[in-house]
Amino acid sequence: MTRPDRQAFARRWADAITGTSYVSLERDELVAHLAGLVDHLIAAALAREPDPSAGSRIGAGLVAAHFTTTDTLGKTLALIIDGLPDLLRGASPPIPDTGIGARIARLAGDVAAGYASTLRERSLDEQDEIYRAALRARRQAEQALASSEARFRQVFYSSPVGVAISEPGGEIIQCNRSLEDILDYAPGELVGRDLSELFSPGDRSAMHERFLDLITGRIPRLRGRFPLRRVDGEPVWANLDTSVLPDDQAEPRYVVTMVDDITDLQLLEQRLQHQTLYDLQTGLPNRQFLLTHLETVLARYEPSAIVTLLHLDLDGFSTINDGLGYGAGDELLDVVARRLEGVIADCPGMVARLGADEYAILLEPSPKDSASTPDVPFDPQVLAEMINTELAEPHYIDDMGIALTATIGIAQLPVGKCRPEELMRAAGVTLRRLRNQGSRQWASYDPGTDRAERVELQLAAALPGALENGQLQITYQPVVTLADHHLVAVEAAVSWDHPQLGRLAHERCARAAERTGASHALGRWLLGTAAQQAATWRQQRATVPPVAVNLSPAQAQDPDLVATVTTVLAESGLPPAQLELRVPVAAIRTDTGELAGSSAGESGMQAEDNVRVLRELGIRTGLHDFAGDIGALRCVADLSPLTVRLATLMVAKHGLCPVLSGAAQTSVSLVRAAGANVIACPADSDEQAAYCRSIGANWAVGVLFGAPGSPQSIEALLATQAS
């Protein structure tokens, strides 16, 4: 985000609060002051860990500029909640939309708390000054009694803070009009009452003890936030500051109690606290509340007790919003919340909304099971069936019955072996694994699968850094004819010498890159490096086979692929015919023949267009990961590729089954009939090479003909073939 963005926000802030308090700052001075607070707002919102003190300092900054009214605070919080999300969307690193609301709600609460705390301290300081003025007035009575009494009366009667003077026994002998207004008493009605009557009956005993401590000198003064009671019984939240005025013998003569009404601030803090912990749409607890509640639950039960957490994602809910409107979507979100609460009505637990169309259900162990007998966990299948049965009951909107289903990840872990974050992550990763498997699915958390998945996620996260730091290499492997082992192409691939996992092959690196969107950068680097190496070989030898690159799905569907390839060719000087690009079948067609991607097939259509344009530019085009299904055969028919690289399983596994071998032979014969060369991989042994020939493949890649290696290994092969 730029400095003008922050300045614009500061000007909006200044416009909002101008006139809410008397401030001596000029317009430019006010904007400059608020711009500094905006920087603190942004820093607090972007902080990795929440820092309540950051918001408190912002609230304190407003009070320091003499903005001291609830109107100022209300307009400030409204601006933060409504305007700060747009400002943060330009932040780096970006914050996901699902995370912005919770951060800003917490920050707004911290700002309000800081504002209230600073304003309270300021009021207490003013109250302290009043007390000191009264004390000085008494000490100086002999010198200027009349003047001091007049000054005290002025402070006493004109102060916006309520003041009551009472006997040590508690009887009120004098109070100002501000106190009567705060508690809604008529003039003079408080005089003669006991000070304890200002508190609710439930607090009177405790307050009596605290006043007794004050009178006897066990505490020097009584300060704090307390609930008082109006004449009609309604509560009033106030900051109290109570002190004793001694007589000449240092014995308590009077008790001065000052009351600052902070009911509006108290209600605002409570409302902001509720918004921080509850979902505004459904009224359910939110993610933050669930985490806090989980800590309490896990501390309550024995280590062997089983706690169950379900993470639900409504299937295809965007269809509701897009088709019927967001009003209908919001109504259904409320319906789902109430139905989920009904499902667990007889169980100890809670329902929470995690954001968008995602919910969580926490089921606690049965109290009787958690301490004396082994805990019997809830049956996951029964839970999933109950939830989907309940959601399947149509809800009618404008005479349309709408039913829903949910995909559910379920984690059941012993209390002694999990923390709140771990339990939520276990349910979440289980749900994410199910999302591509269809609707109305459920699964239980599997630690073994999770460990393997974590390794892959760590690889995906580390790959961009490995690319930048030079940890990745390009390997080159020969493609030969099965008939006479003649070199017809050189495949360029990525490898990674990982410090813990050893050398990782191209396929694993490509999968990791696809997870994070790094496939474009990785693919661009692979293309550029391979093209430059091929150009170097051409300078050394008259005849060099083309260099081949297997594109990732994201690369194949990239609208900028053609521009990237032409740039690479221009930078390297490699002729187009010396480059072969193979597109994965799955990037173009599904197994059943439909275009890949969304319902309209835009991604598959883009990949097809890329292949056609690349071929028109003179670049050799092919397919890889060909498995012989309808979609793969249609790609061959529509695109007339020069080469088709078989999926590894067609060679590694099909040879073990006559039926699969026959299917592979049929598919290969169809591809050869279409004019394409068929590349079989892996051909790592004589037996595999023989099988590749038996199914009709005419080219092969494998260790038998050359392992992936450095450019020098290919140069040696070129020299041998030339001789």
514 occurs within a structural domain: no
The pLDDT tens digits of the residues spanning 629-668 come to: 999 999 999 999 999 999 988 887 655 678 878 888 999 9
In 554-700, the DSSP E strands lie at: 579-584, 620-626, 643-646, 677-680, 699-700
Transcribe 101-148 into DSSP letters.
HHHHHHHHHHHHHHHHHHHHHHHHHHHHHHHHHHHHHHHTHHHHHHHH
Tens digits of residue pLDDT in 184-221? 888 888 888 888 888 888 888 888 888 888 888 888 88
Give whole-number Cα distances, 152 to 129, 134, 388, 622, in Å: 11, 6, 72, 95
Residue 288 pLDDT more than 70?
A: yes
Q: Which two structure tokens, joined as six digits, stand for 663? A: 């299917």
**Contacts with 248 (C-beta within 8 Å, 6 or more apart), sequence order:** none
pLDDT of residue 579: 96
Distance CA 175, CA 14 (A): 39
- pLDDT at position 92, please? 60
pLDDT band at 372 (very low <50, low <70, confident <90, very high): very low
Confidence of residue 98 (pLDDT cuts 50, 70, 90): low
Contact call for residues 587 and 604 (beta carbons, < 8 A): yes
pLDDT at 376 over 60: no
312 and 345 fall within a common domain = yes
Q: Find out whether 689 and 704 touch, Cβ atoms under 8 Å.
A: yes
- Assess whether 98 and 227 both reside in one domain: no
pLDDT tier at 410, thresholds 50, 70, 90? very high
β-pairing verdict for 406-414 and 395-397: unpaired
Backbone angles phi, psi at 90, to 5 degrees: -95, 5
**Nearest Cα to Cα of residue 577 among 489, 637, 708, 645:** 489
Between 494 and 70, name the one with better pLDDT.
494
What mean pLDDT is reported for the chain?
84
Q: What is the CATH number of the domain that holds 554?
A: 3.20.20.450
Which of 70, 97, 123 is the last residue before a domain boundary? 123
Q: What percent of the chain has pLDDT over 90?
A: 36
The verdict on 167 and 93 lying in the same domain is no
Residue 695 maps to a domain: yes
Residue 487, in any domain of the structure: yes
CA atoms lying within 13 Å on the CB side of residue 373 = 6
Number of domains in the chain: 4
Same domain, 302 and 386: yes
Same domain, 622 and 660: yes
Q: For tokens 């069936």, name the residue.
A: 385
Percent of the chain residues past pLDDT 70, beyond the cut: 89
Determine the pLDDT at residue 155. 65
In a domain, 140, yes or no: no
| 406 close to 391: Cβ distance less than 8 angstroms | yes
3-class SS of residue 535: helix
pLDDT at position 143: 55
Asked if residue 408 lies in contact with residue 310, where contact means CB atoms within 8 angstroms, the answer is yes
Instruction: Output the domain CATH number for residue 372.
Output: 3.30.70.270
Residue 503 covered by a domain: no
Please, are residues 90 and 1 in contact by the beta-carbon 8 Å criterion? yes
CATH number of the domain enclosing 225: 3.30.450.20
667 & 570 share domain:
yes
My answer on whether 296 and 384 are in the same domain is yes
Contact 260, 159 (CB under 8 A): no
Question: Are 584 and 678 in the same domain?
Answer: yes
Q: How far apart are CA 383 and CA 390, in angstroms?
A: 11
Q: Per the domain annotation, does 341 fall within a domain?
A: yes
pLDDT digits 0-9 by tens, 556-603: 999 999 999 999 999 999 999 999 999 999 999 998 889 887 666 788
If you average pLDDT over residues 136-164, what whole number do you get?
65
Task: Give the helix/strand (H/E) hosting 326.
Answer: helix 326-343
| Mean pLDDT score, 438-448 | 89
Residue 47, Cβ neighbours under 10 Å: how many?
12
- Tell me, what's the pLDDT at 212? 85
Per the domain annotation, does 131 fall within a domain? Answer: no
Tokens of 542: 């008259």
| Domain match, 609 and 484 both | yes
Q: What is the pLDDT of residues 664-719, one digit of tens each?
A: 899 999 999 999 999 999 999 999 999 999 999 999 999 999 999 999 999 888 88
Does residue 62 sit in the same domain as residue 108?
yes
Same domain for 378 and 412, yes or no, is yes
Bigger pLDDT: 201 vs 373: 201
In whole angstroms, give the CA distance from residue 259 to residue 261. Answer: 6
Q: Which pLDDT band, with edges at 50, 70 and 90, does 530 fall under?
A: very high
Domain end call among 123, 148, 171: 123
Q: Please indicate, yes or no, whether residues 287 and 409 belong to a single structural domain of this protein.
A: yes
Weakest mean pLDDT among 242-256, 291-305, 463-477: 242-256
Is residue 457 assigned to a domain?
Answer: no
Domain limit, last residue, from 389, 423, 445:
445
CATH number for the domain spanning 21: value is 1.10.490
Boundaries of domain holding 379: 280-445
